[in-house]
Structure 1
Amino acid sequence: MTGALIVAARRTPIGTAGHGFASVSAADLASAAIGAVVSDVEEMDEMADVGGVPDEVVLGNCMGPGGNVARVAALGAGLPDAVPAFSVDRQCASGLAAIEIGARLVQTGRRLVVAGGVESASTAPWRMWPPREGGEPVRYERAPFAPEPRDLDMGYAADLLAAEHGITRARQDAYAARSHARAVEAIAKGEFDDEVVPVGAVVRDERPRAGLGVAQLSRFRPLHRTDGTVTVGNSCGINDAAAAVAIVPETVGVQGLRVLGAASVGVVPERPGIGIVPAVQAALAEAGVGIDDVDVFEFNEAFAGQVLACYDALGIDPDRVCLDGGALALGHPWGASGAVLVVRLFTQLVRRGRGRIGLAAIAAGGGQGTALVVSACP
């Protein structure tokens, strides 16, 4: 892929479900992120010819009220009525898929696309199957990922994946502890300050826990199988957040992240977490770079066992990934998580100058994965 440049990237704090954003809707969270990136674009002198009015808004979301949350959020951010918007549901990969789509739109001639993702687990509506034979409606927590009997819960599937790849409980707990330690340190150093948009009284990520070590994590019982290794401690949280980026043609000449390659793939639904592997391979192939060329990795840490299996399969040293902590510590706001990864790449490669090539990747329920390769420029 050539010609698409990410020039602004912002996110809200990541809230723990039921806490700071307990009454903030998905649309309102997204409006905050969209408004911030549009303001960033408007402040760039180099963007005068493009302006700050997007040609399109693309937003990923999984559990919102339906309809078109992207349109509601765009209007809530104060964008003109003439700006169209559409929503994407690729489950946990929705936010990153929206950015992939946004980059493709810029390739085809759009001058400014705002793309990202949002999730509000706190305000997600209750879902009901219709009553049958005079019975009561049946509440369900999620839509099917795949047809029965292939519709496994993500945690159970991650437990099976970890076992198949020989990922021990000790290794998972150590990785989770490190994620929290890195996130706590990053917050203390102000690493997230330039990317985070406060919403109401919430100004920082709520989930990271200082001092959470292997000793504490080892006490948690398996969640899904009596002899399993996936626990609440080495799994991500349930969270609320939004993230967005602004994408323009590379010819604009602004500092940012050039999109080199992107891919979304399908894998067996019973092992959705492994979707990261072929997605990364396909995105790297389009970009024309190899794993060893990547300076900054941001992978979504849905489950320690799942993501460690992906690192092993790709030949990536886990110490090189999520240097400021990942979703195990920061949280996993489903539809927003993929977009959060890109915001993290933007901060590290553009704002901090920590390298040139970045890679973001995330797996999704139903057996899918999405990956994005970028390069800092100029």
Structure 2
Amino acid sequence: MRDEALTPEARPTMMATPRAGTGDAPVVVAARRTPIGTAGHAFKTVTADRLAAPVIAAVAADVAHLGVPVGDVVLGNCTGPGGNLARVSALAAGLGHEVPGVTVDRQCGSGLAAILLAGQAVRSGEMDLVVAGGAESASTAPLRAHRRPEGEIPVPYERAPFTPEGHPDPDMGPAAEALAAARGVSRERQDAYARRSHARALAAREAGRFAREIVGVGGRDADQRPRALRAASLARLPAAFVPQGTVTAGNSSPISDGAAAVAVVPERLRAAAGLPGLRLLAGAVVGCDPGLPGWGPVPAVRRVLSRAGAGIADVAAVEIVEAFAAQVLAVTDALGLDPLGADDERVCADGGALALGHPWGASGAVVVARLFSRLVTGGAPPGTLGLATAAVGGGLGVAALFEVV
């Protein structure tokens, strides 16, 4: 069910000149990530700060020649142990006692929200260099329990509520089923998209496109999960969340461990150093129906495009956190994108979370690192636009529009 009014009538265009009034705009000038491991496997004993520290250190080293001290570390995280993970990770990365750190929780959008907050600090002139991103270690996340009367055994719970009593608060699997039903996304398309994600991730790894962004952890320097999928095998998988449903383990992302970080500086510093980068043109965090949280990227993307005076046809590269194939397809249908057809090279061209994994607090930063590799490291011309977006439990959407400079 596509919103025809938003369907692009032309292939992506390149903006020939930088936009006016962006002299102090925030620019991403370095981006790194860890390999992503399935929870309980590759990084099963590696805590979130030990995942985050190597990428923070690598990003800081990438921009050390600027001679600008890191002003802050902003790190997204959902299920960690608390204690201001960003501060712990900054110290573990060797940035020094003077670098503070702040931890952000917008659930699956945390990593991207952290980058937007870093951009705001840079745009305001308060800081000249902020390292931002996210980290998640589902493998080592502490178990939580409801407090009980004295003498009674505490009762564990799976997750914190995303909404208060009286509002819908579905788990993400059933929410993906509801969105697929509401937007008419078939099981066949979901399975086809999952196969595409894995195939493209395998091809990107074979071509070395991930190697240039990955910082090894514990001797591992490659993502654990991508594999060849057969249509017949996917078709045999049962519904994972709702009887007779369409969302399965095969077209859903796995619970994962990983981290990603970027360096954000003002445009004046980037230009003086002659560095290529991704200038942040617009960012948005919006709310939507908490019963259909996967819909959040649609209003978020529409808002950032409107603020930037751009259309979806102007965007050359789109990275969306692939929590579920159903959710990706519902969003891309509404935005006028066809990742299984005409927009195969635009949307998650090297695969996404379905193949790589979904470390919740980090995934929003992972998609920015992917944009950086695709557009900046890949040599896209100045003016090329890239879009990053994520859906968030509880009914939120996060999006950011970037321009190659």
**2:33 corresponds to which letter in structure 1?**
R
| Residue matched to 1:374 | 402
State whether structure 2 residue 46 is matched by structure 1 residue 24: yes
- CA apart distance, 1:289: 1.2
User: Equivalent pairs: percent with the same residue?
Assistant: 58
- CA apart distance, 1:194: 0.7
Partner Cα distance (1:353, 1:300) in 2: 23
- CA apart distance, 1:134: 4.3
| Residue matched to 2:207 | 189
**1:34 corresponds to which letter in structure 2?**
I
| Residue matched to 1:273 | 294
Deviates more, 1:342-351 or 1:285-294: 285-294
2:70 touches 2:130 (CA, 8 Å); kept in 1?
yes
Partner Cα distance (2:149, 2:327) in 1: 38
State whether structure 2 residue 90 is matched by structure 1 residue 112: no
Partner Cα distance (2:279, 2:54) in 1: 24
Unaligned regions of 5+ residues in structure 1, if any?
Answer: none
Q: Specify which of 294, 313, 318 is matched with residue 297 of structure 1.
A: 318
| Residue matched to 2:276 | 255
| Residue matched to 1:357 | 385
Deviations 1:185-227 (A, max 9, x none): 11011011110000111110001112x1221111110112112
2:55 touches 2:261 (CA, 8 Å); kept in 1?
yes
Partner Cα distance (2:255, 2:225) in 1: 10
**1:15 corresponds to which letter in structure 2?**
G
- CA apart distance, 1:354: 3.9
State whether structure 2 residue 162 is matched by structure 1 residue 136: no
**2:175 corresponds to which letter in structure 1?**
A
Deviations 1:19-67 (A, max 9, x none): 111111101111011000000001x4xx23xx2x211110000000012
TM-score by length of 1: 0.96
TM-score by length of 2: 0.90
Deviations 1:81-124 (A, max 9, x none): 11111000000000000000000100111110000000000110
Q: Between Structure 1 and Structure 2, how many residues are aligned? A: 370
| Residue matched to 2:6 | none
What secondary structure is seen at the aligned counterpart in 2 of 1:19?
A: coil
Partner Cα distance (2:209, 2:146) in 1: 44
What secondary structure is seen at the aligned counterpart in 2 of 1:146?
A: coil
Partner Cα distance (1:213, 1:159) in 2: 22
What secondary structure is seen at the aligned counterpart in 2 of 1:310?
A: helix
State whether structure 2 residue 233 is matched by structure 1 residue 216: yes
| Residue matched to 2:197 | 179
Unaligned regions of 5+ residues in structure 2, if any?
Answer: 1-20
Q: Which aligned pairs between 1:202-241 and structure 2 lie closer than 5 A?
A: 202-210=220-228, 212-241=229-258
Partner Cα distance (2:216, 2:257) in 1: 13
Partner Cα distance (2:370, 2:310) in 1: 20
Partner Cα distance (2:335, 2:158) in 1: 33
2:380 touches 2:404 (CA, 8 Å); kept in 1?
no
Partner Cα distance (1:359, 1:132) in 2: 49
Partner Cα distance (1:170, 1:316) in 2: 18
Q: Specify which of 326, 329, 337 is matched with residue 316 of structure 1.
A: 337
What secondary structure is seen at the aligned counterpart in 2 of 1:233?
A: coil
Deviates more, 1:125-134 or 1:8-17: 125-134
Partner Cα distance (2:245, 2:182) in 1: 11
Structure 1 runs of 4+ aligned residues shifted over 4 Å read none
**1:231 corresponds to which letter in structure 2?**
T
What secondary structure is seen at the aligned counterpart in 2 of 1:151?
A: coil
| Residue matched to 1:332 | 358
**1:69 corresponds to which letter in structure 2?**
L
| Residue matched to 1:15 | 37
State whether structure 2 residue 199 is matched by structure 1 residue 199: no
What secondary structure is seen at the aligned counterpart in 1 of 2:296?
A: helix
Deviates more, 1:144-153 or 1:180-189: 144-153
- CA apart distance, 1:133: 7.0
What secondary structure is seen at the aligned counterpart in 1 of 2:107?
A: coil
Partner Cα distance (1:169, 1:67) in 2: 42
Q: Specify which of 63, 78, 90 is matched with residue 74 of structure 1.
A: 90
Partner Cα distance (1:352, 1:240) in 2: 26
